[in-house]
Amino acid sequence: MTRSHQFTIGWICPLPLEKEAARLVLDEEYPQEDVQHQNVYYLYGRIGQHKVVIGVQRRIGLSHAAILAEKMHAGFPNIRYFLLVASSPRGNHGGVLQ
């Protein structure tokens, strides 16, 4: 089984700040070099017994979150569940808004 087939949870973070919050939830972060594919940054880890891939794309909006989910599902075919982490809009930084 290749590494990409081990992950069953996909966590979508539309902003890098949200990636840092998601990183804190991981029980274990898997060591890696910076992994970037198709303009998406990936972070790998474990929560309990679940292997999680966190995807970050620097574009805001529900349509961009859906595109990220599509890219993640293509690259990690065993993802069964997706989580979407969204921040609150503040100043010039919005949450996930269409």
pLDDT band at 95 (very low <50, low <70, confident <90, very high): low
Give the H/E segment covering residue 45.
Answer: strand 40-47
The Cα-based distances of 81 to 12, 45, 78, 89 in angstroms read: 11, 15, 9, 25
Alpha helices by DSSP H, the chain: 16-25, 62-75
User: Any idea of the CA torsion for 53, 57, 61, 66, to the nearest 10 degrees?
Assistant: -50
Tell me the one-letter amino acid at 4: S
pLDDT tens digits, 12-57: 987 777 888 889 999 999 987 556 666 788 899 999 999 999 998 7
pLDDT tens digits, 52-66: 999 987 777 778 888
pLDDT band at 94 (very low <50, low <70, confident <90, very high): low
For the entire predicted model, the pTM comes to 0.79
